[in-house]
Amino acid sequence: MKKSTWYLLAVVIIIVLLLAFITLRLKNTNQQPERESSGAQSTQISGIVVPHHDLVKDLRAQLFKEVAKQIKPPQTIILVSPNHYDAGRGQIQTTRKVWSVLGGTISPENHIIDALVAKNIATDEPLSFTDEHGIYNILGDIHRNFPEAHIVPLILKQLSPDTLDALHNELLEACADCLLVASVDFSHYQPALLADLHDERTLRFLQNIDTKNLLTEAEVDSGSSLSLLARWAQSHNTKKFSLWKRTNSGVMYEDSDMETTTHMFGWYESGAQTPAKKEVSFTIAGDTMFARYVDAVYGKNFIDAFSVFGERVFWGADARIINLEGSITKEPIKEKLANDNVNFKFPPSITKVLSFLHINGASQANNHSDNAGDEGITTTRDFLGEIGVSTFSGPHQNDVLRVAYFKGEGLTLAVVGINLTYPKQIPDVAVPVISEIAKDPSMRIVVIPHWGIEYATKHSLAQEQAAHMWIDAGADMVVGAHPHVIQDTELYQGVPIIYSLGNFLFDQIDPTTQTGLIVTGTFTQDGLSWFAFPIRSEHFKPRLLVGAEKQIILNSLYIPFKQTSTEYGDIINLLK
């Protein structure tokens, strides 16, 4: 064979071997797992939420086991909890304590804690952790499932967005691959039905990674902890909130009237963001005044009038509305206490109690909203606007154009108020307003009229005709005020009419005037679900009724409606 032929054959063999080598390398490369991005966990779970309520400790243990199956054991866990007892000085507190648990100890991750303290983001206050069950109830689960992990324990008071951002950014810089565990219990002290409605809204915020509303609007024991969890999910590109379990102590104890604690178990993972349901929720109470004897008893601190009622009943809904029977005035108030005094003027300090109750809507469509003249109407709107309360309508006919809007998820609640207690006020003026709003399919319309005959427990023909007119124009619900007593209800064209809620807070002492209703519910694309809570005031202190007292009132109220019995209680479902 010629020499040149040998050279050519050698070149061919080299090329074939080279191609085979390249093919093999490419094949092996394709079989390798994707390289993890800096700071990301192999399973792409960035953080979890678990309750510290030991009623559900077995479920909590199961959740940790489930997560441990899916993730590479983290070297460090950030454990964040509410500061239940408002202990210590700092807004954010930590400790270098070594924790003793069954089967061993858990050590702190001191270099991260040192950085938080050195930068004045957190304070080192070990005594604050002595009785903090939001921390120590979780430690056993951490040690059983991640025995080698160190922890950064944090207890939080209610933080500002800027403070929370500073904490998040420092943790991200120092511990990007840490697992964040938010120890949070959800709705507190509410009947099961109301707690469930509140939790639906909080779940929506979690699914939307809504850091702002988780911080300020979620009815939980630590909005700061949930908001930090959502920020952590955002920074790790884990947008999918996976809800693993959801429980309610009222259901577990088979007592829907008891003051419940609710729980959500879940985590943020990679994947498409879970779409939240389209809905908008509401809680509406009746006639509310802070004058006369209410002022005489509670004027130094109106919050005392709600020491039994509490701050959470309204908190968990999108629209949280009262009928405000009177006006705020800057002028000194010199009113006599006699019941024949019907001139209701309030001091600016009532804004504190409305904030305490989490009210965000107030009707001025009544016969007392002009008791301080036009100045009082404007002053009331200004003071309430400063605390985020939307006022709507007013005492006069043209005020019906002042509509309040409350945003939910994909749906908005429009609230139309109309005062029919003055001469020459006619219900027809609301019709074009309702008709125009109803053109938008994302709107739901509640009309809140001030109407009817005082102390009459049955509605009048005039009330009925007006309500039917508004429903024909497009209203989705009618909820009335003014009679100071609970009136009957009606279902017209599939739309509920609650003719009068009665009083929420008033100084009338007849038993019928000291009993009222709070109506709450949710509009969805499919219709409306709602329910009511009777209330009774004693010494001008409202409280939710329970048991037989509650049921007697509801049985009468629900007569026109088909009730749906659930483990949470009876609901009225009205489908489109």
Mean pLDDT for 511-519 is: 96
Task: Read off the pLDDT of residues 530-553 as tens digits, 9 standing for 90 and up.
Answer: 999 999 999 999 999 999 999 999
Spatial contact of 572 and 563, defined as CB atoms under 8 Å apart: yes
Q: What share of the chain is helix, strand, coil (3-state, %, to 5)?
A: 35, 30, 40
Above 90 in pLDDT, residue 8? Answer: no
Confidence band (pLDDT; 50, 70, 90) for 7? low
The CATH classification number of 45-269 equals 3.40.830.10
Above 50 in pLDDT, residue 386? Answer: yes
Q: What is the pTM of this model?
A: 0.91
Spatial contact of 425 and 417, defined as CB atoms under 8 Å apart: no
pLDDT attached to residue 34 = 35
pLDDT attached to residue 374 = 93
**At 478, phi and psi to the nearest 5?**
-125, 125
Question: First and final CA of the chain: distance in angstroms?
Answer: 92
Judge if 45-269 and 279-575 fold alike in CATH terms. Answer: no
Helix, strand or coil, per DSSP, at residue 445:
strand
Which string of b and e fits 259-280 if b means at least 16 CB within 10 Å? Answer: bbbbbbbbbbbbeeebebbebb
Mean pLDDT for 35-55 is: 73
CATH architecture of 279-575: 4-Layer Sandwich (3.60)
Nearest to 184 by CA among 168, 206, 210: 206
Confidence band (pLDDT; 50, 70, 90) for 336? low
Domains of the chain, by residue range, sit at 45-269, 279-575
Distance CA 164, CA 450 (A): 44
Task: Read off the pLDDT of residues 166-202 as tens digits, 9 standing for 90 and up.
Answer: 999 999 999 999 999 999 999 999 999 999 999 999 9
Mean pLDDT for 52-69 is: 98
| Out of 36-45, 173-182, 250-259, 547-556, least confident range | 36-45
